[in-house]
């Protein structure tokens, strides 16, 4: 097993949006931002220290397989030692190995920083919605919540149906 990086320590909640997040205090900010925009996180976790593709894939699989998770949001502040392309490869690999379409399962990918150009090319190849550093962490969280909300059935008003 690789000594590089951390991709684990998952705390589970009863939400429907899986979080693959990192950056220390930035991950707490992202978790809170999802909640502030009406989202219901399914988990809290930390990824950092440049984990390899296998570690990232393993964490993403854990989150994707949690019952009730509709989509995942992969978000961090600006990274310097964690490579954007490696995280992209890991979460895409997790989706593909589980028979899921990465473009459908990944609500947003917002990790600017080291190797971002390569990472963004990989995300484009799979049709994944991603954001660069011009999009704030709060805006990325809002976009993720909006995509999840679009999946929820609209409950008809009892007055209108009677």
Ordered per-residue pLDDT tens for the chain, 162 residues = 566 666 767 899 999 999 999 877 889 999 999 999 999 999 998 888 889 999 999 999 999 999 999 999 999 998 888 999 999 999 999 999 999 999 999 999 999 999 999 999 999 999 999 999 999 999 999 999 999 988 766 555 555 444
What was the pLDDT predicted at 157? 53
By the 8 A CB rule, do 105 and 72 touch? Answer: yes
Q: Which CATH class name applies to 6-152?
A: alpha beta
Distance CA 83, CA 106 (A): 18
Q: Which of 156, 154, 6, 160 is nearest to 82 (CA)?
A: 6
What was the pLDDT predicted at 110? 97
By the 8 A CB rule, do 119 and 106 touch? Answer: no
Helices within the chain (DSSP H only): 25-36, 53-64, 84-97, 102-105, 116-125, 137-149, 158-161
What was the pLDDT predicted at 124? 98
């Amino acid at each position: 097993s690789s000594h590089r990086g951390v991709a684990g320590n998952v705390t589970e909640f009863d939400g429907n949006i899986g979080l693959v997040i990192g950056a220390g205090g930035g991950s707490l900010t992202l978790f809170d931002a999802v909640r502030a925009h009406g989202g219901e996180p399914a988990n809290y976790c930390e990824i950092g220290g440049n984990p390899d593709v296998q570690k990232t894939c393993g964490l993403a699989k854990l989150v994707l397989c949690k019952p009730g998770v509709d989509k995942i949001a992969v978000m961090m502040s600006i990274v310097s030692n964690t490579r954007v392309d490696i995280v992209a490869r890991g979460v895409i690999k997790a989706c593909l190995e589980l028979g899921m379409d990465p473009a459908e399962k990944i609500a947003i990918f917002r990790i600017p920083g080291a190797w971002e150009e390569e990472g963004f090319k990989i995300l484009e190849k799979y049709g994944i919605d991603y954001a660069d550093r011009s999009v704030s962490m709060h805006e990325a969280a809002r976009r993720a919540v909006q995509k999840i909300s679009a999946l929820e059935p609209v409950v008809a008003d009892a007055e209108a149906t009677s």
